[in-house]
Amino acid sequence: MKKILTFLLLGGCILSLQGCINFSDSEGNSPTKVERITEGDEDFNEDDYITGYYPTLAEAIKHNTLADGKPIDFELVKTIKIIEDEESCIFYGTLFQADDSGEFFAVMRFRTKDKDGKKEYSNPLSYGPLPTEFIDSKLHKNDSVIEEQNMFLNLYSSTYATKTLKNHPNFVWSLSAKKEVQKIKVNNQKPTEVIPFKVEKVQLYFYYFDDLKNNTKDDEFVITIQ
């Protein structure tokens, strides 16, 4: 039942987002599918989706190919967290889309390379948008933090998961609009960091574990409030 609810909520989240996003081009190819394809097909060449490398994340985001192979007009607003390994990085932060959804939280993965001693970023190879209306939805307004985060941790750790980075195999993250989330413990661990941020006037919280240990046999998160 939990998995069914998760996918229903995810579907509602995506459908309520930008109507201009098209997840495939006329030939059925899509950069937004890179993660699923590479993890499921060892012969898939991710390089086919890279159109260039850029000196900053802001510029790389502007050169996205997320709408039928063409860029969506995104601006980087706030970088909340970046994790990286030798060849890629994952961005957690907020973007702004002037012609449609305004500011919203998003997850993006980029390939990286060094050029003359400086890091450069590819166009985004995966994209997971999360509008504030979903994070702070009336659907879970009356849920406790434990109830809400039991759903969100499972949702963000599966559907919004990007390729696992080599040096972050147990990186886990989540979001909440509930202030009490600052006292959360998962599998008897405190978050590595809880980062308050605002999207427009809405107060939100991003928290993460650099290395979340699993202490249950059935891989369920054990959530408590300190």
**Token pair of 50 as six digits:** 């890279």
Query: Pick the residue with more confidence: 163 or 55?
Result: 55
What is the pLDDT at residue 161? 57
**If pLDDT is split at 50, 70 and 90, which confidence band does 29 have?**
very low
Segment 86-112, tens digit of pLDDT:
999 999 999 999 877 799 999 999 999
- Tell whether the model's pLDDT for residue 3 goes beyond 60: no
What is the pLDDT at residue 43? 66
**Token pair of 122 as six digits:** 């590819």
